[in-house]
Structure 1
Amino acid sequence: MARVRHGIVILPQTDWPDAAQKWRRAEEYGFDHAWTYDHLSWRSLANQRWHATIPTLTAAATVTGRMRLGLFVASPNFRHPVPFAKELATLDDIAGGRLIVGVGSGGTGFDATVLGQRMLTPRERHDRYVEFADALDTLLRFEEPGSGGIWFRGDWFTADAARMVGAPAQEPRAPLWLAGNGPKAIRYAAARGDGWITTGGPEEDREDWWRGVADLARRFEDAAEAVGRPHIARVLSLDNEVAYSLRSAAAYRDEVARAAELGFTDVVAHWPRESGLYAGDEAVLDDVADRLGSTRP
């Protein structure tokens, strides 16, 4: 069985330089990738301190040098692909080609209405998601000099002679890991993504949740096989509002093993918070460090 890669989400709630210590420690612990949420605020944490995504990852890039950095996941609720792609390309340049771009359809919470927009139907959200991700795929690739820029005109987004940074830091561009659980989203990720991200379903019972994850994994495997792409990354977020994988080192090891058995190549957990959602003890990270290949003294 291939080694599972380990990721950690550091919520953008801590002021710099205290946050810098978490990003440095994540790399020292041996995590393969580290992420932050791409929200303007989020669910039960909406009234708490919450920093912006791109500046956070840019700062994280300057205090790390090995692990990949990413957005978990980018939202079209409040973004246009043209300026966003330029921000991503600049970030990847600063990070030395370590960026992973997670992309989703955009939630239905605060971010979906903060700019005064109407609530979209599920079909509209999916159509906008595909157009957004397809645009990023085009924009993040190298624009040949003298090409006249990048043009597209869709139902949701338009670009007239858009210019990007130049040659991307990664070839052919930063990888796009596409999120989604519905049939259309799974087929789209299998056909167009460099990886697929799932958070599992809404089940509160953990065994029911794992059964749902197993079903999603089978559906994605079938979709990837159908388009001849069986080897792209499969990424499972282990945590939700009712279960936290880093509650103990033993629990984390068990959940990682279950994910591996289902064919996931990558797992993502959340940095322990002091209270509330994802509450835990940071000492657990020391306990799992040996498994991650820690370089901490």
Structure 2
Amino acid sequence: MRFGIVILPQFDWPEAARYWRGAEQMGFDHAWTYDHLSWRSLAGERWHATIPTLTAAAMVTERIGLGTFVASPNFRHPVPFAKDVATLDQISGGRMTLGLGSGGTGFDSVVLGQEPLTPRQRFDRFQEFAEGLDVLLRGEQAEPVVADAAGGISFAGDYFTANGARMVGEPAQRPRTPFLMAANGPRSLRLATRLGQGWVTTGPDGVVGEDWWRGVAELSARLDEQLAVDGIDPAGYGRSLSLDSGGQFALESVGSFEERVGRAAELGFSDVMVHWPRPDGIYAGSEAVLEEAASRLAALR
């Protein structure tokens, strides 16, 4: 089992540095931040940009993996975003994982004046976004990417177009920065196993307690079915669960954390994530509980 922590981008630098350094010092395997312009109940609070935050985090850490939890096409285009991701992967020494999802229907989906999309349209846009990033992050010279006559990368879809895009400055990891794909439905799971190196879920929406755990088990079983169809060894495919879903904050106590980690392990998850406790509101909790839980990570691996 590997352990991750989500650090919301709410802290001014250099104060924020203590959280990222702390995550590494506590022994977490990976640390994440949200990729939103603003978010739900915290929309009126401080909220910094994702890529600069992760870049700064890369400069004050040495070992811990870094990632987006999760990036979406709500306000991003694959060409400039691929440049950001490749540069961050290079700066971090190959520690970047790109968490990707279709994007919600909240603030990010309307702030640029976008028209609302149907669920089908949101998936179609997400597929174009992920496929574009996959091609771009492999670079002009990589196989099976075929560059156009001018040496750049071109593609055209209903939502995104690239005309001779250049990827000078490639990611440190080969063949590209790994994707961690958020997926619950059949089409998104197929996309996740085709393009992703791992899958992440927050479980089914709108349910709590035992119903949520049953839903998580069902989603994990669907992933197994899709991996079998695609001929992918499940042992080599990452499986991540956000433990702070289903109506409970995992770090409300050390016992709660250990119990939820144990249940995730029973369901075959390779990775789990929790949120750094906030002083109030969502994910409210004590840093003392976080520190005690972190002290037990070695025994839980």
Q: TM above 0.5, one fold?
A: yes
Q: Are 2:105 and 1:108 aligned?
A: yes
Contact 1:29–1:285 (CA under 8 A) maintained in structure 2: no
Residues of 1 paired with 2:194 and 2:206: CA distance? 28
- Contact in 2 for aligned 1:236/1:267 (Cα 8 Å): yes
1:178-217 C-alpha deviation (Å, 9 max, x unpaired)? 1121111112112221111111012443111101101101
> Partner of 1:188 in structure 2?
191
Equivalent in the alignment of 2:93: 96
Partner of 2:239: 234
Structure 1 residue 290: Cα displacement: 2.6
Quote the offset at 1:225 in angstroms.
Answer: 1.2
Match of 1:177 in 2: 180
Q: CA deviation at 1:8?
A: 0.4
Q: What amino acid sits opposite 1:244 in the alignment?
A: F
1:217–1:262 CA contact under 8 A, matched in 2: yes
Residues in 2 aligned to 1:117 and 1:95: alpha-carbon distance in whole angstroms: 33
**2:127 paired residue number:** 130
The reply to whether residue 269 of structure 1 matches residue 274 of structure 2 is yes
- Select between 268-277 and 142-151 the one with higher mean Cα deviation: 142-151
Q: How many pairs align?
A: 291
Match of 1:6 in 2: 3
Cα deviation, 1:101-144, whole Å, max 9, x if unaligned, reads 00000110000000001010000000000110011111111322
Structure 2 residue 52 is matched with structure 1 residue 47? no
Matched, 1:75 2:64: no
Q: 2:209 maps to what in 1?
A: 206
Partners of 1:39 and 1:191 lie apart in 2 by 25
- 1:55 CA displacement: 0.4
Partner of 1:159: 162
Which one is further off, 161-170 or 215-224? 161-170
Q: Alignment partner of 2:70: what SS?
A: strand
Alignment partners' CA distance in 2, 1:9 and 1:100: 13
Which amino acid in structure 2 is aligned with residue 151 of structure 1?
S
SS at match of 1:120: coil
Unaligned runs of 5+ in 2: 142-146
Coordinate RMSD, CA, aligned: 1.5
CA shift for structure 1 position 18: 1.3
Tell me, which stretches of 5 or more residues in structure 1 are unaligned?
none
CA distance in 1, matches of 2:191, 2:214: 23
Shift of 1:82: 0.1
State whether residues 244 and 250 of structure 2, in contact with CA within 8 Å, keep that contact through their aligned partners in structure 1. yes
Distance in 1 (alpha carbons) for counterparts of 2:131 and 2:267:
28
Corresponding residue to 2:285 among 257, 280, 284: 280
**1:221 match:** 224
Q: Is the 8 A contact 1:143 1:166 kept in 2?
A: no
Q: Distance in 1 between matches of 2:159 and 2:267?
A: 36
Question: CA contact under 8 A between 1:34 and 1:70: conserved in structure 2?
Answer: yes
Aligned: 1:84 with 2:92: no
- Native 8 Å contact 2:239 2:269 kept in 1: yes
- Determine what percentage of the aligned residue pairs are the same residue: 62
Tell me which of 235, 249, 255 is aligned to 2:260.
255
Letter in 1 for 2:134: D
Q: Which secondary structure state, in structure 2, belongs to the residue aligned with residue 76 of structure 1?
A: coil
Aligned to 2:59: 62
Q: Tell me, in whole angstroms, the C-alpha distance in 1 between the residues paired with 2:27 and 2:276.
A: 14
Tell me whether 1:17 sits opposite 2:14 in the alignment: yes
Cα distance in 2 for residues equivalent to 1:99 and 1:5: 15
Three-state SS of the structure 2 residue aligned to 1:273 is coil
Q: SS at the partner of 1:223?
A: helix
CA contact (8 A) 1:8 1:271 kept: yes
Q: Distance in 2 between matches of 1:34 and 1:97?
A: 14
